[in-house]
Amino acid sequence: MRIKTWAAMAALFLVSAAPAGADGTGDPAVASVSDGEYADKDGNPTFKIEPDGTVDWYTSVGYIRYTANCMQCHGPDGLGSSFGPSLVDALQTLSYSQFLDTVTNGKKNVSASQDLVMPALGSNPNVMCYIDAIFVYLRARSDGALGRGQPQKNEPKPAGYSKTEDACMG
């Protein structure tokens, strides 16, 4: 019993000593912010979630856009379905640029036993005008920083966001 407790404590120590929550894009820690969009030290989009559950604007938009455009294949909360793989898992190894490439150009795994295809969504403004938001939301899910369901509290809409959005949507 005592030995087991020791082993459990040692395991806990190892977990907490590992680099803080790196995913396929790297360390998600916030290093900068521009117009409500947070970025990590490499300039890749990242999430910011307060201890009380308040999420950044992009994470909250990402949830809505993911649910509208990706959920039918990738399942509720990014967890996967019989039509598409879990993106919570995929982002553990996929980088931001690989993510962008796949969403823009699609993907067909020829060796897959099932005939499932990721459609190329590069010309769909409902996806591409919100791609950073979708990524940030999924990154937060993948890093375990955000639970299932719709975030209940979010930061206010950044000044200038609507203008950029309108320009993109045309």
State the residues that interact with ligand HEC by CB under 6 A.
69-70, 72-74, 83-85, 87, 90, 94, 99, 102-103, 107-109, 112, 116-119, 121, 127, 134
In the complex, minimum distance from the CB of residue 14 to ligand HEC, in angstroms, rounded to a whole number: 27
Cβ nearer to ligand HEC, comparing 31 with 118: 118
Cβ nearer to ligand HEC, comparing 16 with 82: 82
In the complex, minimum distance from the CB of residue 76 to ligand HEC, in angstroms, rounded to a whole number: 13
Cβ nearer to ligand HEC, comparing 31 with 128: 128
- Element holding 107 (H helix, E strand): strand 107-108
Alpha carbon distance 23, 142 (integer Å): 8
Alpha carbon distance 166, 170 (integer Å): 6
Do you know the residue count of the chain?
A: 170
Cβ nearer to ligand HEC, comparing 15 with 110: 110
In the complex, minimum distance from the CB of residue 78 to ligand HEC, in angstroms, rounded to a whole number: 9
Alpha carbon distance 117, 125 (integer Å): 20
73 CB contacts (<8 Å, ≥6 apart)?
A: 81, 83, 84, 118
